[in-house]
Structure 1
């Protein structure tokens, strides 16, 4: 069995790529359990917190909200079946695809509008007209 490592918050931040203030925030909102402290009041993290923080960071990179991550962590800790995790991931994928479709629509609208704009000093501007519509 591998020996457990202990980390200060700076070292934890380096290993995970998560900003120190973000680590503190995750502790404050209960996403990351508050670690024990030394007599000098310095936080001491173990491998379990490192692994959990990496899980949180990767989940954020994939666009999961903090509430969704909390739900995923609950599934992991509760020994949830893989099917439940898949269901949550597929729901998130559906949200991402909807956002991509929205972004593509926005791109088309902006590209079409910008293409109609002649620039220069004319007082009429198709971009302003589109942005001003109710």
Structure 2
């Protein structure tokens, strides 16, 4: 076995792919590479730069009143890495243009982050490491 393999994909559970698909499509600025009902669930998947995939899954048994909560066991958030703080600032402008509520850019010694949520409350972030 060689070194640990890179992250391949992340799949987020949503209440409705019909609601979340256009939101993610606007965020990513691209069409999904998969959009299908597999029987046990419906899923939509986007190819991200660097080879990773992000998917949304709609499961028939998910309670429609349920929302994401990062303080429960499981996923805390999904982060997309930016090459610089100026790239992070450009994403802040894009989120504002899309009408996506966000927490503004927060700076810390380990880097700068911009937190926001999808329509189901899944926690997402753009992050830039500090400049060297």
TM range (shorter): under 0.3
Q: Give the number of the structure whose residues are more often helix, by fraction.
A: 1
Q: Which has the higher contact order (CA 8 A, sep 6+)?
A: 2
TM-score by length of 1: 0.23
Q: Give the number of the structure whose residues are more often strand, by fraction.
A: 2
Larger radius of gyration: 1
TM-score by length of 2: 0.23
